[in-house]
Structure 1
């Protein structure tokens, strides 16, 4: 049996309920039959025109906010790539046959994105349900009065919810901006030893507050050595950024005096017990000895670093793995392991946002990382860092932030 040939343009026009498609500039690209009929506009009056030229705000209502709120909702969809459901909205429509006469209307709108193959929003689906008659439809001899009471109550509550929602959006956006600025101020620029190249990246989560828990650090050690670490604090926002700053500074100091990465993580684990919000932080620390061409490493519940050899093979440094910071009820020594490298190898440390996906095993993410490293093995650190982000992160972004360090050995 062959698959039926579906005329999706015909399906769209026959959809029940009012549905329109708009460009990211909020110009009508298409509208279904119900939208044309119930909006009281012809298709020619809609297509190719800016939405608010077709449906301007009612100038006779000084409290009218339907146009502003609809525009803000649609622009959020374009900016974030996420669906936006609006509260009950009053948005009057001008009678096209009676200029200056406006009809009172109440709507329940939903705006949703349509993305292209690269994840960019190319259309906004604007679905609207008119609820004017529902608000007014109250029976009985005193129906008009009851209808107006119900109408006022619904409208007032919807406005209150919308205003609370807007305040929360602005508060969250402000917290995100402050947390990202704080994180950027605390994260160091790469300072590799000698002629060895290094690249660092921090990619915040998109459309979420789950940011500012990841960090990286590079510390020059006595005797031609370099300590490289990445970590991930449980939590988000300003609280996570503050905890991250404390832990990064503590580990940076510990690496300068510890005999090896395991001892540095032991000191950090003891410190984490006294810092609210530091429990269950994951971190991996590597000590690079340029003279002996050796990497000593220790991992506290963190995804394993990857060592890319010049021939394109990849070794994951997973032989010294222990639970996250402060996860055990009592302090115990942490393990560490040592591996040799050849000149021209590349060491890659990262946080779980680079490889983990909720719908799959971590092994699949590690396999993707190894494959990308092999394909780009001849790239310099800066180009390799960009290639890894492009290959491994979804084009629409992730719900977790990502830190990445690439060191040419």
Structure 2
């Protein structure tokens, strides 16, 4: 590829002195440079187009050699989270292409980096590695500086093992947090005259889960209160805070006069709950008799109202700072009202549905509106699944997502 400045980036890629490879997010080799092929003793046809584990399996005769499996786990993590991962020293041996079954002991220092597409999704993975085998082998030499450097690499390998154990512990916490989340976000009681769908999709990352929640309840006077929220924080702590805020808002909706007062009460309560400040929430109260939606938002993305003709309005005229964000509590949250026609659909969601790294939020809102317009007329369950399929990355989002779809 040559840009407007005449730079041939393909030539640059091939001339890089370090071994560099490009992967798809499914871990298929897209391209490799000459240094990579030289270091691995492979031809381009033996690598490009093949899965990582097929092109370079671990030595089946030595179960202690797990470097390729660790590399695979790192690449999958980068694809899922969109974050760079600089791996510490690890060993994976390379099979001699001329002597099948003969493996050479090799040591590597890799780094894996995501490449983002125009929509903010990870589209490629850059893998660069340095072969430090000779450095490790020189540990027994007389060069004190080299010995110390090799010792640092060895300690780095030990640190990697510690980090992997921490990741395993975080994964266990994720499982517990998700179980708690599932218990606190049950399917809502069916509404008498309206169809609704709720969804919760956890983040792909290890800890970025359990801060999002939803609520859908029929009020005693026949109106419907529907809300979503997002807690700042991760894991078990966020799940516990989420449960408290969800219950508190449900109670406030039953005894206050409208969504602004309910969020005001919730904001006051949030000041007494560790980890609840700066949480966001939006509450809509649907009056089906008068066909109006009263709403108020505490720093949350605006609900979307899909009309029968396919047009979409975002309910963004009553937005205030997140819960407890002001130095002093202010009991004057804004409230607005929107009219709807029969056959409309109300959609509430958390930011995991629309936000992408390196992308303005308006791009995500436009993407949501386009998806809603394309699928106008579908039932809430189908629309909820379609929105998740349309708007979340194939490898999973970096933030969890809560979604409520209410047919009006």
TM over 0.5: yes
Change (3 A) 1:22 1:215: closer
Q: Residues 69-99 of structure 1, C-alpha deviation per residue, up to 9 Å, x if partnerless?
A: 3212214424652664332234566778899
Residues 241/374 of structure 1: CA separation in 2 closer, same or farther (3 Å cut): same
Q: Is the 8 A contact 1:73 1:84 kept in 2?
A: no
2:283 to 268, 271, 285: 285
Q: Which range is displaced more, 353-362 or 119-128?
A: 119-128
Q: Secondary structure at the match of 2:142?
A: helix
Displacement of 1:157: 0.8
1:312-361 deviation per Cα after TM superposition (whole angstroms, max 9, x unaligned): 22222233322221223034233323333221111111112222345344
Aligned length: 399
Q: Out of 153, 165, 171, which is 1:173 matched to?
A: 171
Of the three residues 221, 244, 250, the one matched with 1:252 is 250
Match of 2:233 in 1: 235
Structure-2 change in CA distance of 1:164 and 1:2 (3 Å): closer
Work out whether residues 136 and 150 of structure 2, in 8 Å CA contact, stay in contact via their aligned partners in 1.
no
Counterpart of 1:131 in structure 2 is 132
What is the deviation of 1:228?
A: 0.5
Q: Identify the residue that residue 366 of structure 1 maps to in structure 2.
A: 365
2:355 aligns with: 356
Give the deviation of 1:309 after TM superposition. Answer: 1.6
In structure 1, the partner of 2:391 is 392
Partner SS state of residue 66, structure 2: helix
Question: 1:245 offset after TM fit, Å?
Answer: 0.4
Structure showing greater Rg: 1
* TM-aligned CA deviation for residue 105 of structure 1: 4.0
- The alpha-carbon distance between structure 1 residues 182 and 50, as it changes in their structure 2 partners (threshold 3 A), is same
Do the aligned partners of residues 359 and 89 (structure 1) sit closer, same or farther apart at CA in structure 2, a change above 3 Å counting? closer
Pairwise CA RMSD: 4.0
- Judge conservation of contact 1:212–1:401 (CA < 8 Å) in 2: yes
User: Which one of the candidate residues 234, 255, 267 is aligned to 1:269?
Assistant: 267
Contact 2:138 2:147 survives alignment (8 Å): no
Q: Distance in 2 between matches of 1:232 and 1:219?
A: 18
Deviations 1:358-381 (A, max 9, x none): 534433333332232222211111
Deviating more after overlay: 93-102 vs 363-372: 93-102
Specify the alignment match of 1:188 in structure 2: 186
1:229–1:286 Cα contact (<8 Å) kept: yes
- Following TM superposition, by how much is the alpha carbon of 1:152 offset from its aligned partner in structure 2, in angstroms? 5.9
Change (3 A) 1:137 1:254: same
* Aligned residue in 1 for 2:205: 207
User: Is the 2:120–2:357 Cα contact (8 Å) retained in structure 1?
Assistant: no
Q: Does 1:330 align with 2:333?
A: no
Q: Deviations over 1:270-326 (max 9, x none)?
A: 211110111111111111222222222222222222222212222222333222212
Asked if 1:314 is matched to 2:312, the reply is yes
CA distance in 1, matches of 2:7, 2:290: 66
**Unmatched segments (≥5 aa) in structure 1:** none
SS in structure 1 at match of 2:215:
strand
Is the contact made by 1:74 and 1:124 (CA closer than 8 Å) also made in structure 2? no
1:397 to 1:212, Cα distance in 2 relative to 1, 3 A: same
Q: Is the 8 A contact 2:227 2:283 kept in 1?
A: yes
2:338 equivalent in structure 1: 339
Tell me the distance in 1 between the aligned counterparts of 2:27 and 2:398.
27
Say yes or no: does 1:107 pair with 2:108.
yes
Q: Tell me the equivalent position of 1:376.
A: 375
Alignment gaps of 5+ in structure 2: none
Alignment partner of 1:339: what SS? strand
More deviation in 78-87 or 208-217?
A: 78-87
Shift of 1:183: 1.1
